[in-house]
Amino acid sequence: MTVLQRVRDAFADHYGRAPLWIASAPGRLNLIGEHTDYNDGFVLPMAIELRTAIAAAPNDSQNIVLHSEVAAETAVMDLSQPLLPEATGRWLNYPKGVVAGFVAAGHKPRGFDALIGSSVPMGGGLSSSAALEAAMATLLEAVCAVELDPVRKALLCQHAEHTYAGVPCGIMDPFISILGRRDQVLLLDCRSRETVWLPFEDPDVTVLMINTNVKHRLAAGAYARRRRQCEMAAQSLGVRSLREAGLEMLGRADGLDDTTRGCARHVITEIARTVQAAQCLRERDWAELGQLLDASHESLRHDYGVSCPELDAVVEIARAIGPRGGVFGCRLTGGGFGGCAMALIETPEAAAIRHEIGTEYQRRTGIAATMFASRPAEGARLSQA
Ligand code: GLA
């Protein structure tokens, strides 16, 4: 049963009537271009086949009633009261931030009952938060009978994450969750917001996600710190953002401490790798793309400092299998500090590769990894209930 069918049934069970709308939005996987979005760089994400879905119907009141299957909890937002952020870490901040964004933009949502379900793993680095925000924004478009420009909609979701969830994230996650296209990967220029869609439909090549099933607590604080370090590096180099910097410029600069220099080096080289990776996709040069993925992981691990032993273990195991065993390349994906790694693999070898990674990862860490493959999937949409 798909998550859309599940929320439809669960809504009927929970509220005793049928839903009117079902909005859904996917998680995302970033092929390459990590920690580049908030540096005005390039990213190369795709929407995945795992989705967050919200079934809803009007309730003739001033209340938005949200039942989350994931949190096993019901929360109420009173639209006649100011929509204040909840305590840090609370799931309600994501939908509430989106509702607040709609209200601030002059739209007037009426009360409704909703039930939220998801197949995107929480905290797995596949952007469960953007999926929830984008699904909520799509639902609110239906409730308010408006259609937002997709870029404005993505910015509204990003703003919700900044001001309600307290995470100073970039534009990538809501952007791809809203705009995602089946069988295509997005080369997004985060400076100009120009989008280039690249086909990714070779049945012989698969993207495998490997969830380490660990989530280190330092993630949120470390993300904000890295972002500040990048801004400091750009300032010292006299450029608006690290997108405008180059390795020669960095080499000539003095007065940067090693950590800041490492951060800048990662961002500068990762932006270049992302542009090269897009070219590999155009040429279907999987071997070269795999090498770029490997190099990205090394850079994230050593220069940017956002890997962790579990992610490194997955990458090491995948690399030991290598191109001869059908693994082109492997790297952490998303913010880091746990969550998922992704491997670009030969489809016919998928079962053997999954088995080897699963067994060896369990042996090394004592943790069972979860794995799934996905083709690029469609972005946020409203379905008839
Ligand atoms: C998180 C953020 C994104 C991006 C990635 C790292 O997923 O939400 O904006 O910065 O980390 O690439």
Q: Is 336 in the pocket of ligand 1 (CB under 6 A)?
A: no
On the question of pLDDT at 221 being above 90, the answer is no
Q: Which of 29, 31, 169 to mutate to test the pocket of ligand 1 (most atoms within 8 A of CB)?
A: 169
**Residue partners of 140: CB distance under 8 A and separation at least 6:** 98, 99, 102, 107, 109
In one-letter notation, the amino acid at residue 273 is: R
What pLDDT shows up at residue 20? 97
Is 173 among the residues known to form the active site? yes
Residue nearest to atom 1 of ligand 1 (CA): 335
Mean pLDDT for the stretch of residues 260-285: 98
Nearest ligand 1 atom to the CA of 130 is 8
Backbone torsions φ then ψ of 102, nearest 5 degrees: -65, -45
- Among residues 37, 173, 294, 303, which one is catalytic? 173
The CA distance from 305 to 311, in Å, is 12
Residue nearest to atom 11 of ligand 1 (CA): 335
Nearest ligand 1 atom to the CA of 30 is 12
Note the pLDDT tens digit of each residue in 120-176: 998 888 999 999 999 999 999 999 999 999 999 999 999 999 999 998 999 999 999
What pLDDT shows up at residue 124? 87
Mean pLDDT for the stretch of residues 263-290: 98
Nearest ligand 1 atom to the CA of 36 is 12
Tokens of 137: 């924004």
Cα–Cα–Cα angle for 57, 59, 60, rounded to 5 degrees = 135
**How much distance in Å is there from the Cα of 175 to the middle of ligand 1?**
11
Please, are residues 30 and 172 in contact by the beta-carbon 8 Å criterion?
Answer: yes
The CA distance from 284 to 205, in Å, is 10
Average model confidence (pLDDT) across the chain: 96
Q: Is 190 in the pocket of ligand 1 (CB under 6 A)?
A: no
Long-range CB contacts (within 8 A, 24+) of 282-285: 282/198, 284/202
The CA distance from 197 to 183, in Å, is 10
On the question of pLDDT at 21 being above 80, the answer is yes
Note the pLDDT tens digit of each residue in 305-314: 999 999 999 9
Q: Is 133 in the pocket of ligand 1 (CB under 6 A)?
A: no
Percent of the chain residues topping a pLDDT of 90: 95
Q: Which of 30, 32, 34, 37 to mutate to test the pocket of ligand 1 (most atoms within 8 A of CB)?
A: 37
What pLDDT shows up at residue 218? 62
Please, are residues 138 and 23 in contact by the beta-carbon 8 Å criterion?
Answer: yes
On the question of pLDDT at 366 being above 70, the answer is yes
How many C-beta atoms surround the C-beta of residue 33 within 10 A?
24
What pLDDT shows up at residue 285? 98
How many C-beta atoms surround the C-beta of residue 371 within 10 A?
19
Nearest C-alpha neighbor of 11 from the set 155, 128, 115: 115
Percent of the chain residues topping a pLDDT of 70: 99
What pTM value is reported for the model?
A: 0.97
Q: Is 124 in the pocket of ligand 1 (CB under 6 A)?
A: no
On the question of pLDDT at 217 being above 90, the answer is no
Q: Is 334 in the pocket of ligand 1 (CB under 6 A)?
A: yes
On the question of pLDDT at 284 being above 80, the answer is yes
The CA distance from 325 to 345, in Å, is 9
Q: Is 34 in the pocket of ligand 1 (CB under 6 A)?
A: yes
On the question of pLDDT at 83 being above 70, the answer is yes
Quote the DSSP letter at residue 73: E
How many C-beta atoms surround the C-beta of residue 166 within 10 A?
14
Mean pLDDT for the stretch of residues 202-217: 94
Q: Which helix (H) or strand (E) holds 178?
A: helix 172-179
Note the pLDDT tens digit of each residue in 44-79: 999 999 999 999 999 999 999 999 999 999 999 999
In one-letter notation, the amino acid at residue 334 is: G
What pLDDT shows up at residue 173? 98
User: pLDDT band at residue 17, thresholds of 50, 70 and 90?
Assistant: very high
The CA distance from 35 to 43, in Å, is 9
What pLDDT shows up at residue 216? 76
Please, are residues 337 and 215 in contact by the beta-carbon 8 Å criterion?
Answer: yes
